[in-house]
Structures are given as C-alpha cells and as structure tokens.
Chain A
C-alpha cells in the first residue's frame, strides 16, 4: 500500500511516515499542497491514501483536498485530514468536500491505525 503525507512540518511528516512504514506502507512526502500535486503529476501514480495537514503555506490541505477530488485520476484515493483544526465546522467542511476521515492532532499510532482500519486500509503489509 502507498501513502502520501502532506504536512509543512518536516518533524511531523517524519513521525507520521515512520508510523506508516511500521504498518507496512511505502510513503512519499510533500511539504504543501502544490508540491503534492506536482509530485503526483510527475510520478503518475495514485497512492491508496493521502494524509493532509490543513494549514500549510503555498497551498493548504483543504484546497488540495478540493483539487484531488476534482481529478478523476485520484478517485480511488482515500483522503484523511490530519490536523490541529478540531472545530466541528471545519470537520463538516472537510467531509463535505470529500475527505474520508479526519484525525485530530495530537494522536497516537493506535489512533492512526484505527482510522486506516475504518478506511479498510489496515492490512498494509
């Protein structure tokens, strides 16, 4: 299984990527929405799941979510917002815009594993 982690914090990207690799995922990383789109276009693949931070420079995660959901090439990609935004209206907006799950920071590896399980992606190995 392949995962894309988009977060402007290198430290947080690294923590999330490590958790995913320990679950058997191969992981690519991007530092903002624009970088993620460029990377996807360059590689031509569709990761099984993308984990998007909300607040990032250049292009935020909510905008990236909208871009991904507009493009049929990424229709099979499951998208999880992973963010410190914990207000109900933000969560509602993300789900309405096509996010499949929402994980609030901070979180434990178990919480990430549970959320991937909800998306039917727990058996990565």
Chain B
C-alpha cells in the first residue's frame, strides 16, 4: 500500500528529484510517483511514501536515494520501439554516413538508454546492413541509473522483453538462450560502452558522435535544462551527424543551431550549416 502524499510532501519530493536528477515532476504526475515508488517501498519494507520521504530527508545521500532516483528514471523501452526510426537508420542514415566515412567505424550515442533495448536494436540494424562497419563501431549507452546499465552490459532479457518488438529471426541470430532468459551475443555486446551519466551535468571524455539517439528523454527536463543538454550534445556531434528525438518531441524554441530534416517516416535533426 502506498497512500498518496500530502501536497507539502509531494512538493518536497519533486524538489528532491529536480535537484538530484533534474527530473521535472509536476502535480499531474503524482500517479507516476506512486506507481514507480511502490516497488521501492516493498523492497525497503516500508508501508507509506511518507516513511520513504523521512529516509530521503536524511543526509548524506545513501543507496535509498539512489534507488528512488533509479525507480523514477527507468523509462519504458522495447526493441525496435516505434519501428520507423530504425527503418530510417537502415535505409537513409547509415548508408550516407558509411559512404562519407569510407567504411570507418561509427560513433553512436544512446542517451538515457535504460535497459539497453535501443542500443542493441541499433547494433542489430548496423550489423545486418554493414557488418564490417559494425565491428569497428561503438555505441555509447548512458543513463543516470547504474542498475539498468549493468543489465545493458550483461545483455540479459526475459522472455516478455524479447517478445516486445524483436523480430524472431533477429532473436535467433543475435541471442543465446540462458535458462529462462535470453542473452545478447558477444559480437553485439562488445560494441556497447555503458557509462553512468547525468545529462543535466556537463560531461567529458565523449567522442565526437555521428548519430545520437535521445528519444523520449527531454520531456523530463525543464526548458533551460533541455537547452543546455541539447547545446552540449550538438557540440559533441560531427558536423554531418544526425540526432533522433522521440516522435512527440521537437527542438522548436530549444536550439536553433539544429536544422529539422525528414528521412523516410522520421523527423530528425542535423547541425545547421
């Protein structure tokens, strides 16, 4: 059971999440808090969200704080989510960039990559279309949540997860059965570089990217944080690179140095000339 928080408690929790992870939760999202934190209450043996807040108000930050941030930032994901961005990647973006780079490896970044379905989808698309380039390419997976990154590195998925969006021929080709789970084969796992990153804080040591996926992520941030994140991503992208956002997202009023372009059924962004 997780009875609702009173308005002051809810406001405190919103401020905590904003300060520690730059996630913006407003009063319309109380259901999200209740749903996401119910498993945390159970794990910690607590009965109410108020009891959890008492722990969150303690300093220094502990594993409980980290667990709450992780629970609130784990995004729904699936293999080949929305399909068309990956058709566009396969049919338009990869052929163009592979040609321009003369077959050299590509640097691809999945920001807020959650449990890894998106980066492994990209890895499969690249491997299927350009196996030699795939072997030389790196996919940077970043997330604020270390637990999901560990899962990404292991590449272990349940039957319910591989049922979601993954074509059966690709399941057979790129996964091994491990008991009740399925594990991504080593040839794809070695393309992955998983790192903890809070996008709201300036980063370093990230290679210039040819392609960036930051889909259904910006929605969690306020406008200033969005501008800051997108501006820093732009500076981390090759001049002829491509940026993919979620289907309902745009850079209108966020960054005028990106130009909107269409390829296949996808809207994506290039650095403005």
Interface residues of A (CB under 8 A from B): 86-88, 91-92, 95, 99, 101-104, 106-108, 110-111, 114-115, 117-118
Contacts and interface: CB of A to CB of B under 8 A. Distances in A.
B165 interface: yes
B172 A104 contact: no
Contacts, number: 44
A117 B78 CA distance: 13
Nearest to A110: B164
Interface of B: 78, 80, 83, 159-160, 162-165, 167-169, 171-172, 177
A95 B164 contact: no
Contacts of B167: 101, 118
Among A103, A108, A114, residue most surrounded by chain B Cβ atoms (within 10 Å): A114
Contacts of A95: 168-169, 172
Contacts of A91: 168, 171-172
Nearest to B161: A111
A73 to B, nearest CB: 25
A102 B80 contact: no
Given A102-B171, A111-B163, A118-B167, 9 more contacts: A88-B177, A95-B168, A106-B160, A108-B164, A110-B78, A110-B164, A114-B165, A117-B165, A118-B83
Given A114-B78, A114-B80, A117-B83, A107 B168 contact: no
A44 to B, nearest CB: 30
B168 A102 contact: yes
Contacts of B177: 87-88
Contacts of A111: 160, 163-165
Contacts of B164: 108, 110-111, 114
Contacts of A101: 167-168
A118 B78 contact: no
Contact of B172 (A92, A115, A118): A92
A61 B26 CA distance: 50
B160 A107 contact: yes
12 contacts: A88-B177, A91-B172, A101-B168, A103-B163, A104-B159, A104-B162, A108-B163, A111-B160, A114-B80, A114-B163, A117-B83, A118-B80
A69 to B, nearest CB: 16
A73 B78 CA distance: 35
A19 to B, nearest CB: 13
Nearest to B76: A110
Contacts of B78: 110, 114
A16 B206 CA distance: 46
A118 B78 CA distance: 13
B240 to A, nearest CB: 31
A88 B174 CA distance: 12
Contacts of A99: 168
Nearest to B78: A114
A57 B163 CA distance: 26
Contacts of B80: 114, 118
> Closest 7 A-B residue pairs measured CB to CB?
A102-B168, A114-B165, A111-B163, A107-B163, A118-B167, A111-B164, A104-B159
A17 B167 CA distance: 22
A110 B78 CA distance: 10
A13 B233 CA distance: 49
Contacts of B169: 95
Given A110-B78, A114-B78, A86 B159 contact: yes
A86 B160 CA distance: 12
A98 to B, nearest CB: 13
